Amino acid sequence: MQRGQMLGIGIFGSIVAGTASMGVWQACLSNRYFWKVDLIETRRQRLKEAPVPLPLDASTENANADMEHRQLAVEGKFVPGKTFYLCPLASNPRSPPIDMSESKGKVTSGGFIYDLFERANGTSVIVNRGWLPKDEMEKHMAASVAPDASKVQLVGVMVHGEEEKTFSPPNEPVKRHFFWLNQPELAQAMMGPTTYTPILLEEFNEAPVVSKDSSSLVKKHKDQYLEFYMTPWKHAMYAGIWFSLALMGTGMVFYRFRSTAAVKKAAQKH
């Protein structure tokens, strides 16, 4: 075998090997299928259970895994003048949490409303009230709409703030405007200097709802807390694609260089 052929086999063989390794990587991730199924089922069972009272001293600092994906009940009142908005950049719109295809007009982006909720013992909780389209959000901000300050009981799911990214813009707490959800910063903007960070509860709907009124607050439904962007089936599908490409590549390399060698061998006989 000539040097050129060996070089060609080495180059194309490395491409095939790289493609096969991508398939192995995806296949290894697919082995998490049963783990993920169990995780989803655990979350499903927790969300089916009756709401449990949020511990009186609950905060981000002492929250534990048992509070995750569980209906948590709190009693107290919303604090007027403590409404903040998580509004999008044009390059990073906040999509609605549910299907808005039947709403009036074309809804493409919007933001979330956050209020401070004070409990009888003086501790606080930050509540995600829901999502509004961008134009309705701007009206809400301009009107300085205050929440009902009467005593209420609400149920929500504990969620977490966001991590700052490389190009995350600075928030504007003075304007009650956040571009990304910095939970400690939001807590300080709502409460002033504080020794703890309140947990973040997200209000939700019991069942899927298709919003037809773009002016009403839009909330998630419980099943959405069971969703994963990258499912095990996607990993398996990608693994199959990579392995198929590797198999075809192997056949092409074998055919190409075997045929070349056969032609040269026949030519030498003549």
Give the list of residues 6+ apart from residue 50 with CB closer than 8 angstroms, or none. Answer: 71
Predicted pLDDT of residue 107: 54
Whether 123 and 35 map to the same domain: the answer is no
The model carries a pTM of 0.74
pLDDT tens by residue, the chain, 270 residues = 556 566 666 676 677 677 767 767 666 655 666 777 788 888 899 999 999 999 999 999 999 888 988 999 999 999 999 999 998 655 455 666 655 455 445 556 788 999 999 999 999 999 999 998 888 888 888 888 788 888 999 999 999 999 988 888 899 999 999 999 999 999 999 999 988 999 999 999 886 665 555 567 888 888 888 877 666 666 667 767 777 777 777 777 677 666 555 545 555 555
152 three-state secondary structure: strand
Whether 38 and 54 map to the same domain: the answer is no
Whether 84 and 208 map to the same domain: the answer is yes
Whether 133 and 220 map to the same domain: the answer is yes
Whether 62 and 21 map to the same domain: the answer is no
- The parent domain of residue 21 ranges over 3-42+232-268
Q: CB-based burial of residue 10 (10 Å sphere; 0-12 exposed, 13-18 middle, 19+ buried)?
A: exposed
Whether 85 and 8 map to the same domain: the answer is no
Predicted pLDDT of residue 224: 85
Give the list of residues 6+ apart from residue 120 with CB closer than 8 angstroms, or none. Answer: 75, 76
Whether 239 and 111 map to the same domain: the answer is no
CA atoms of 215 and 2, how far apart (whole Å): 74
Whether 236 and 220 map to the same domain: the answer is no
Amino acid sitting at position 95:
S
Whether 34 and 161 map to the same domain: the answer is no
Whether 171 and 112 map to the same domain: the answer is yes
Domains identified in the chain, total number: 2
Predicted pLDDT of residue 225: 84
Whether 142 and 195 map to the same domain: the answer is yes
Whether 67 and 143 map to the same domain: the answer is yes
Q: Which DSSP string do the residues of 33-102 spell out, in sequence order?
A: HHHHHHHHHHHHHHHHSPPEEPPTT--TTT--GGGTTSEEEEEEEEPTT--EEE--BTTB-B--SS--TT
